[in-house]
Structure formats: structure tokens, C-alpha cells
Amino acid sequence: MGNYQKFKRSWKCPTCTNVTERRSRKDDTPVKVNCGDSSPSDVINMSSDNMQVNELPPSDFEHHGEELGKLLDDKLDTKLQNTRHSLASEIKQEFNEVLMKLESEFLKITESLTGEICDLKREISTLREKVQTLEQENIYARKQVESEQNKPSKISHMDNVC
């Protein structure tokens, strides 16, 4: 068990270098270990500047660039085509809605005008009947006036004759 405790105390990571030893506790909490083989600058320096990068030959870049360009072109064409289809369907839908609204309004106006035309035809028919009645009354009145005008002349002829 003693070896296990020593082994467990050696489990100290280099990133825990700023942990201080606790004075009042005697448990197995990891504390700062002075690692002789690693310096604090090694632990703190996590830059990837020193890493070697496997660079692709220029021909591979060009090849991958062309493939990437084609892929982007295909994606853009697909998006553009989808946008065109959705825009066309939206325009058709709005056009159909406007067309139905106009058709409904046209039917209302047509029905209203048809009703007014029927009313005007009835009124014209009534006026025509009145005109015919008035013409007949006028003819009758003229005949009576003529007959009245003829009567005095007959009387005056009779007076002359007597």
C-alpha cells in the first residue's frame, strides 16, 4: 500500500504547475511537482508554430481547387434552380389569388349592372306604355276639339240659313 501511495502522488500533470501544496491536509490530493525534465515554458507554449505541416504539391491544390470550384458551382446552380422554382410557384400562387379576386369583383359588378339594366328596361317599358296612353288620349282630345270646332260652324251655318 505504501508503494501505491507513492505511485499515486506521482500522478501530476504538467498543467497543474500553479497548484500549491495544501498545508493542513494530509490526503492524496495531487499537488505541484517539480518536474526537472520539463520547463514551465514548455508546458505553457502550446503553439502549433513548430509543428510540421504536410503540404500538398501544387498540382494537388489545383486539382482540389478545381473540384471544389465545380462542387460550389453545382451547389450554387442547385440553390439558384430551387430559388427560381420557389419564386415561380409563389408568383403563380399570388397571380391566381389576384385573378380569383378580380373575377369575383367582375362578377359582382356584372350582376349589379345586369340588375340595373333590367330595372331600366322595366322603366322604359312603363314609360312607353304611358307615352302610348298619352298619344291615344291626345288623339282622342284632338278629335273632340275638332268636333267641337265643327259644331259652332254648323250652328253659325244654321243661323245663316234661317
pLDDT tens-digit profile of 61-105?
A: 667 888 888 999 999 999 999 999 999 999 999 999 999 999 999
CB-based contact 28:11 (threshold 8 Å): no
Q: What is the mean pLDDT of residues 1-19?
A: 66
Distance CA 62, CA 59 (A): 5
Quick one: pLDDT at residue 4? 73
What is residue 62's three-state secondary structure? helix
Residue 141 has pLDDT above 70, yes or no: yes
Percent of the chain past pLDDT 90, that is, above it, reads: 47
Number of helices (H) and strands (E) in the chain: give both, helices first: 3, 0
| Cell numbers found for residue 113 | 349592372
Question: Mean pLDDT of all residues in the chain?
Answer: 79
Distance CA 16, CA 10 (A): 12
Residue 118 has pLDDT above 70, yes or no: yes
Name the more confident of 147 and 49.
147
Name the more confident of 42 and 87.
87
**What residue type is assigned to position 27 of the chain?**
D
Residue 45 has pLDDT above 80, yes or no: no
